[in-house]
Amino acid sequence: MNIIPNFRGFFWLILIAFLFTWFGLVVFPWLELGHLPPIQDEGSTDITPWDSSGAAHAGEHIYAANGCAYCHTQQVRPETSGADIIRGWGTAKDGDGKDVTRRTYPRDYIWQGQVFLGNSREGADLSNVAQRFPDAAKLYSYLYDPYVLNDHSAMPAYRFLFVTQKISGQPSTDALVLPAADAPPAGYEIVPTAQAKSLVAYLLSLKKGYHLKPDEAGIPYVPPSPNNS
Amino acid sequence: MSHQNPQVESPPQPSGNDAIQPKAPDFIETQDVPPLSLEHERFPLWLYLLCGFILFLAGSSFTGFGIFGRDYLDQGPGGPVMASASQATTQVAATPMDLGKKIYGGNCANCHQASGVGAPGSYPPLVGSEYVLGFKERLAAILLKGLQGPVTVKGASFGTMVMPAQETILTPEKIADLMTYIRGSWGNTANAVTTDEVNAAKTKFASHSAAFTEAELQKIAPNGPDPTDKKP
Amino acid sequence: MATLFPTTVAPRGFVSTDPELAAVDASVRWPVMVCFLSAVHWMVVGTFLLVYASSLTHPQDAFPILGWFVDLSDNFSMFTYGRVWPAAIDALVYGWASTAGLGLAVWLLARTSRAPACSPATLMTAVVFWNLGVAIGLTGIFLGDSTGVELLEFPAYATWILWLAYALFALWAVATYLGRRPGHDHIAQAWVLVALFAFPWLYGAGSILLSASHPLPGSGVIQEVISAWYVHGIYTLWLAPLGLGLLYYLIPKISGISIRFGTKAKIAFWTWIIFAPWTAVHDLVGGPFPAETVTIGLILSGLIFIPVALIGMNLVSTAFTAEEKQGHHGGVVFPFFVLAAVLFVVAGASEQILSIRSANELLRFTMFRECNQLLWIYGFFSFTVFGAIYYIVPRLLDFGWRSAFLIRIHYYLSLYGILLVISILGFGGVMQGNILENTDVQVTIVTANDVSISYHIAATMCISLIAIGNGVFALHLGWMLIDWLRLRVRGNRLAAEILIEPYEGDAPAKASEEVAA
């Protein structure tokens, strides 16, 4: 029995088999979701999703290089598929404080240069981490010592993102406020490096508190006609 | 004359009597066996049964097959078979306590812990806290505007972390439910809080933008139960 | 290079009794040996990094010596978990598995072509470049240039080196295959060719479309889709075919029994190629992706039980029949192949579990995924390569392993290690998933951490067991090489003395004049 009766035929069959997977898995989703435009929020002048600052985009590199995506996801599944909403990871508020708790949609990621949906949850989902931690100081102290928030944490400490320096004159406004166990010796302060600042800026940009139409996946924006409002 | 070199050694023998020899069973190469047997063997019955069972399980993925088009995202037929999985989709919380519990889990438990005990030095406990059980207006002030600086709760001092304001995150209704929950859980037995009471506090503190300090909170109301309040 | 090691010493008998195949083995000796040696080197590196990374998953309960690892990781960016873990996996996938896989592909292609291989120099260059690329890539990850894309963490300056190495290798492979002796086609050739076609496609698309310096603008979630396609493509279209090709080739050769249910081998081959890559959607269920892609993917990857069952019947039943009939429990190498075949079926079963939607939603973000990865890399593929190295190296060097006892120790340590790791991570994944998907609002990620930490500790211990077994293997290989070198050196001296000594007892001066001339 000859598995390869004809090399050319074999080659073409393999090619077709690969193309089947390539088109089905990569090309068709790309055609559907690869070119999503932003939309204008109904009833406001917001462009959604919210874009983030340059510092936040720089933070993506720090997030990637230090492998945060190996323990944290950034995708919230719907209520029908897992308990992500119950865990509170989809909880978000819009500008008026109204609840926008929802799953994440493809359009949520179009401004991100590199997307970190993640595949492992040793730590919490970070899609709306800025909603739960709107304060940079808390994020800095958590990065410096994860035990501050959770003394069972398996998260590594990122002390190499910070510098312990002597206080010269006035204490720096960036200096971390830490519990006594982590506090630097007297006369010293702990300040974040530029890498830490970018990373925290990135984390602070992670919130999905804007409206997207339910079940929408990529519907192009149609401006409201003058008769409706 | 034959060639003899008395210094020639025979090649070293494999050391130890455990060394692998060429005739060891795994090292004999059977050249003439055809790689694939062409005789027609029947598959055993258990294989068909097993594959049938797997096909049956795999059929659970067939839901949603009819949904094409980019308007629909992967929804899933429902979560894993947990006891209350179907209730999760309806999310009908009847009482303020239920709603408050949900809000607490999503917003507060990270710091104050699901059991309300907080963390020494950083997050005050809510269990038996004089601020939780005392005047509702003062508690509402903390929730609306946040709390900064050192604070003493049940004799212990806390102050390394700032509590963020919840005014922009929770509606007054939600703050009321949350207050009801923390005042009635973990052994706390203070009475419920209404949305009107939270709105009144919101109006009263509208001009106070920064987080409250302990001194300011003590000026709003002293420690101890509110004598004008109804019993729970 | 052949002149450095003349074959004047009487052969010990490991070379194939078929002179054609013996010539083939001799022609690919050095490229395959360098592949295997460098692969074992990366295996040692990768295993050490894996133990280190695993110990960092439970920092607060680190054993005393591992506490020192934790301090390192806190204070030095090079040793943080987010860099050590991808370095470990990449060292194991590209350094250990891929390099050994290239060695297997070379040997299998050469053997099934039944012609001495052309241009070993091309192959040697390819292997050297490949190792260079892996070394530079790993260094880049430690220095902070990781791209953060799973299995594609090597920075761009290492990627192109791997590309160059593979191009050289592919040229050689095509030339060898086209120069094959007709009429001896073997199913192993089909498997190896699939792998050789798949890798450039996968690695090209993956590294170009997902590298940090050329992110697809505005592509959003498509990056994740391509990443899932790449990761599962590497496991199912690059590593699995190489391992299966070797098993289909060596199991009949060693046992003397043809592959049973051989008429199904062709169907198994094609169904694997069509269905297996769709396991990529296991990483997409419930996420912001189109429903039809995910559903079709789950259906197709749900059908993976067809090729797994067929391949299982092919390999496992043949292997067990051989064990019964010929009592290979006395053999030391064949058990590796038996276990490799069994672990292939187990890996297929874990993919089947993940293709069931409800199970996937439970297990998707848990340590079950790590269990699946380790099943492919450490389970199925590593056992295939161990058996292959134990079998092939004596044929290439015509020199035996020093100790059957050490091979047995390696086998049992690895066997118990991998079975325990799979059970721990699998069961731990279910436990972790139960907590993460619990509908009680009071349950938080902290609760999940508390549950999973015990499993992480147990996994570290079992990975250490595997590491000890692998260390035994590496030391055994080193011992064997040293003994072989000693034999060669003495053999050289022997050869030199034969050359200098006069044949017929003539005047020594005349002979030495001839030599000196």
Q: What is the band of A220 on the pLDDT scale with cuts at 50, 70, 90?
A: very low
| pLDDT of the residue at B75 | 60
pLDDT, one tens digit per residue, over B146-197 is 888 888 888 888 877 778 777 766 778 888 989 999 998 888 888 888 888 8
**Matching residue, tokens 């029995």:** A1
φ and ψ at residue B169, rounded to 5 degrees: -105, -35
Strands B151-153 and B156-158 come out as: antiparallel
- Tell me which H or E stretch contains A163: strand A162-166
A156 in a structural domain: yes
Looking at per-residue pLDDT, the higher value among B3 and C331 belongs to C331
If you average pLDDT over residues C267-295, what whole number do you get? 91
Most distant CA pair in chain C: distance in Å?
100
If you average pLDDT over residues C294-301, what whole number do you get? 88
- Tell me which H or E stretch contains A21: helix A7-22
Contact B89 A177 (CB under 8 A): no
Inform me whether the C-beta atom of residue B80 falls under 8 Å from chain C C-beta atoms. yes
DSSP code for C381? I
Q: Measuring CA to CA, which residue among C26, C53, C39, C162 is closest to residue C96?
A: C39
Chains within contact range of chain C (3+ C-beta pairs < 8 Å): A, B
Which of B16, B65, B102 is opposite residue C402, by nearest beta carbon?
B16
Fill in the amino acid letter for C172: W
Contacts of A92 (CB under 8 A, 6+ apart): A99, A100, A101, A102, A128, A131, A207, A208, A209
Fill in the amino acid letter for B14: P
Return the minimum-mean-pLDDT range out of C86-90, C183-187, C385-389, C481-485: C183-187
A214 in a structural domain: no
Shortest Cα distance from A178 to chain B (angstroms)?
7
A35 in a structural domain: no
Looking at per-residue pLDDT, the higher value among B69 and B123 belongs to B123
Q: What is the ipTM of this complex?
A: 0.89
- Is C209 buried (19+), middle (13-18) or exposed (0-12) by CB count in 10 A? buried
| pLDDT of the residue at C163 | 92
DSSP code for C278? G
Q: Measuring CA to CA, which residue among B32, A2, B21 is closest to residue C257?
A: B32
Which residues of chain C neighbour A103 with C-beta distances below 8 Å? 288
Round to whole Å and give the CA distance between C53 and C47: 10
The distance of Cα C67 from the centroid of its chain, to the nearest Å, equals: 31
Shortest Cα distance from C18 to chain B (angstroms)?
7
Interface of B with C in 100-139 (CB under 8 A): 101-102, 105-106, 109-110, 114
pLDDT, one tens digit per residue, over C371-426 is 999 999 999 999 999 999 999 999 998 888 988 899 999 999 999 999 999 999 99
Contacts of A154 (CB under 8 A, 6+ apart): A71, A122, A123, C57, C58, C59, C60, C449, C453, C456
How would DSSP label each residue in C33-102?
A: HHHHHHHHHHHHHHHHHHHHHHHTTSGGG--HHHHHHHHHHHH-GGGSHHHHHHHHHHIIIIIIIHHHHH
Which of A137, A178, A216 is opposite residue B71, by nearest beta carbon?
A216
Most distant CA pair in chain A: distance in Å?
85
Q: What is the band of A206 on the pLDDT scale with cuts at 50, 70, 90?
A: very high
Contact C13 B23 (CB under 8 A): yes
Q: Measuring CA to CA, which residue among B120, B141, B99 is closest to residue B112?
A: B120
Contact (Cβ atoms closer than 8 angstroms) between residue C351 and residue C282:
yes
A187 in a structural domain: yes
Inform me whether the C-beta atom of residue C330 falls under 8 Å from chain B C-beta atoms. yes
| pLDDT of the residue at A20 | 94
- Tell me which H or E stretch contains B151: strand B151-153
| pLDDT of the residue at C422 | 96
Interface of A with B in 129-148 (CB under 8 A): 131-132, 134-135, 137-138, 141, 148
Shortest Cα distance from A35 to chain C (angstroms)?
6
CATH value at residue A92: 1.10.760.10
Round to whole Å and give the CA distance between B168 and A183: 32
| pLDDT of the residue at A147 | 87
A146 in a structural domain: yes
Q: Measuring CA to CA, which residue among C173, C83, C70, C61 is closest to residue C127?
A: C173
A19 in a structural domain: no
Task: Give the CATH number of domain C17-498.
Answer: 1.20.210.10
- Is C57 buried (19+), middle (13-18) or exposed (0-12) by CB count in 10 A? buried
Q: What is the CA radius of gyration of chain C?
A: 25
Note the pTM of the prediction, 2 decimals: 0.79
Task: Provide the domain limits for residue A172.
Answer: 50-204
A79 in a structural domain: yes
Q: Helix count (H) and strand count (E) of chain C?
A: 20, 0
Shortest Cα distance from B150 to chain C (angstroms)?
26
Q: What is the band of C9 on the pLDDT scale with cuts at 50, 70, 90?
A: very low
Contact (Cβ atoms closer than 8 angstroms) between residue A127 and residue A76:
yes
Number of Cβ pairs closer than 8 Å across A and C?
A: 242
Round to whole Å and give the CA distance between A211 and B5: 94
Which of A7, A66, A77 is opposite residue C286, by nearest beta carbon?
A77
A150 in a structural domain: yes
Contact (Cβ atoms closer than 8 angstroms) between residue A9 and residue C188:
no
Inform me whether the C-beta atom of residue B228 falls under 8 Å from chain C C-beta atoms. no
| Tally of domains in chain A | 1
Give the percent of chain A with pLDDT over 90: 37
Round to whole Å and give the CA distance between C169 and C392: 20
First to last CA, chain A: 72
| pLDDT of the residue at B72 | 55
Residue C213 has pLDDT above 80, yes or no: no
Inform me whether the C-beta atom of residue C300 falls under 8 Å from chain B C-beta atoms. no
Give the percent of chain C with pLDDT over 70: 90
Number of Cβ pairs closer than 8 Å across A and B?
A: 83
- Is A220 buried (19+), middle (13-18) or exposed (0-12) by CB count in 10 A? exposed
Contact B9 C400 (CB under 8 A): no
Contact B79 A216 (CB under 8 A): no
The CA–CA distances, whole Å, from B146 to B130, B180, B216 equal 17, 18, 12
Looking at per-residue pLDDT, the higher value among A48 and A138 belongs to A138
| pLDDT of the residue at B60 | 63
| pLDDT of the residue at C517 | 41
pLDDT, one tens digit per residue, over A6-24 is 788 889 999 999 999 999 9
| pLDDT of the residue at B98 | 79
Mean pLDDT of chain A: 82
* Domains observed in chain B: 93-220 (1.10.760.10)
Round to whole Å and give the CA distance between A60 and A201: 9
pLDDT, one tens digit per residue, over B74-113 is 665 432 222 222 233 334 445 788 788 877 876 787 678 7
Residue C226 has pLDDT above 80, yes or no: yes
